[in-house]
Amino acid sequence: MAVCSLGFLFFCGAAVIIFHVAPGKRLRQIVLACVSLMFLIPLVPDLRSWIWFVFFLGITYGALALVRAQSRGWIVTAAVSLVLLLYLYVKRYTLLAAFIPFPLALDMRLHKAELVGLSYMTFKFIHMLIDQWQGQLAPFNLWRYLNYQLSFFTITAGPIQRYNDFLKYWEEMDLQPSETRESLLYWIRILTGMIKVGLLGAYVETALKSYGGLWTTPTLGSVLIAFYAYPVYLYFNFSGYTDIVIGAGGLLGFRLPENFNRPWLSRNVLDFWDRWHITLTHWIRDYVFMSSYKAAATAFPRGARSWSYALLFFALFVAGVWHGTTDAFVMFGVLNGLGAAATRAYGDVLRATIGHQRLRAYLKNKTVRLVAIVITLHYVCVCQLFFANDVDHALSILSALGTCLANLPAAVSRYSWQGPALVLVAAAVLLTALWKSDAAGSFFERAGRWLGERNGLLSTILCAQCAFVAGMFFVQWAFQQEPPPVLYMQF
């Protein structure tokens, strides 16, 4: 079921009504389990995938139960290694196939099994296993585990909710339904997400396809759109999806973690990843970076600084290659890793050369901040070229961009300021406004709080959004368009 569709809206509405009508925690848990199953069924393509599902959930639950019975480090290591190998096999990393002998390599290329949500289930399992081993996991059983792994608002593309947080809401289901104001806010969030995915994201994607793909004679406009539009599209698409599932989860009593925090205002690559796909970054921070850096810095205290650069690179590299199996995603990971290590090294150099006091003043300097934001924004756009395209095409866009910039005065004088240029000017104005975010952010926060306290206004906004979204779906229906896919569901 497409998340940005009329079907999903009705699905959510029906689920919420049945959920709130059901008396008591147990019945509500059963309702939620049924809803998750109904959401999952259309996404699983064939019997083979169902067998994979059962196999994956069976062995991971077995591993968890084993670690609960015998808390041994080698069991944890073996289970994590096994699941990661399974992950790499099912995801069919083409690069790995080159190093793995026949016939497994052939099988990796040809295998048709798809496992929706495998990445996110793997993240959740590893987190549970390590926390169980370290005595930090709340009690679990098969029923809770299956519901945690398969809950419909996190399985396809996150956000990665931690088990203890999930269990808290799972056990509080017999509490009174959320108040009207909260329900209105969650519905508004769902519809906002649908507008982001179905209208804004789809519009930017159309612009990207129309202009960014014209490579016979690249023009300034097409090159700029190819460079800037994809990150904007990805943001609308993924943050819109996140809004939808956070709203849906909220209506069913689950407060899901946020995944975005104004990422285009990041002042360096590390800051960007702390604001973009936050739950993935935090998972990698906790279970890849912190664990490995702690081990390295404890074993080699004198080399801790060097280890921090290497492991930051590794952590962001992992975040990159997790997204895809091709060499373009390897480049994406390498660039992000280099950006993270360079950010850290630059901070260390500044601290060593100018000292704490002057560093504080430097960090507070508004001009420095704006320059840092602009540089980061462009670095992220370069990285995302490799996210969106194969390596050759990404390099050709960069090359065309370099040529256009070298001939900028002539290109501008020849250029007709219509169509894509207007979009770019609008984007530039929007970004400039975002740079003034301290004032704008606090204004919107105050406005949001003010609105949030007025149910009448919230209802009006919701009605307007309903009309807008209904129009959007009508156009989709009238022109026989497929609901726009959520890009992150393929990961």
Partner 1 sequence: MRDVRAELQEIFRQVFDDPTIVLRDDMTAADVEGWDSVTHIDLLIAIERALGIKFATAEMSRLKEPDQNIGSFVRLIESKLQAG
> Which residues are near partner 1 by CB under 8 A?
130-131, 134-137, 162, 164, 270, 282, 285-287, 289-291, 293-294, 297-298, 304, 308, 312, 344, 347, 351, 356, 359-360, 363
Closest CA to 174 of 26, 33, 30: 26
Closest CA to 277 of 118, 186, 128, 160: 160
**Shortest gap between Cβ of 238 and partner 1 (angstroms)?**
22
In terms of CB distance, is 351 or 436 closer to partner 1? 351
- Count other C-beta atoms under 10 Å from residue 462's C-beta: 17
In terms of CB distance, is 298 or 418 closer to partner 1? 298
What is residue 490's DSSP assignment?
Answer: G
Interatomic CA distance for residues 393 and 395, integer angstroms: 5
318 residue type, one letter: V
In terms of CB distance, is 57 or 359 closer to partner 1? 359
**Shortest gap between Cβ of 249 and partner 1 (angstroms)?**
19
**Shortest gap between Cβ of 338 and partner 1 (angstroms)?**
16
In terms of CB distance, is 271 or 327 closer to partner 1? 271
**Shortest gap between Cβ of 298 and partner 1 (angstroms)?**
6
**Shortest gap between Cβ of 235 and partner 1 (angstroms)?**
22
Residue 134: strand, helix, or coil:
coil
> Partners of 276 in the beta sheet?
260
In terms of CB distance, is 56 or 293 closer to partner 1? 293
Expressed in percent and rounded to 5, the helix, strand and coil fractions of the chain are: 80, 0, 20
Closest CA to 132 of 86, 78, 85, 70: 70
Residues near 171 by Cβ (< 8 Å), separated by ≥ 6? 25
In terms of CB distance, is 196 or 285 closer to partner 1? 285
**Shortest gap between Cβ of 274 and partner 1 (angstroms)?**
9
User: H/E element holding 10?
Assistant: helix 6-21
84 residue type, one letter: L
Interatomic CA distance for residues 20 and 74, integer angstroms: 45
407: tokens are 């001939």
**Shortest gap between Cβ of 62 and partner 1 (angstroms)?**
22
In terms of CB distance, is 7 or 347 closer to partner 1? 347
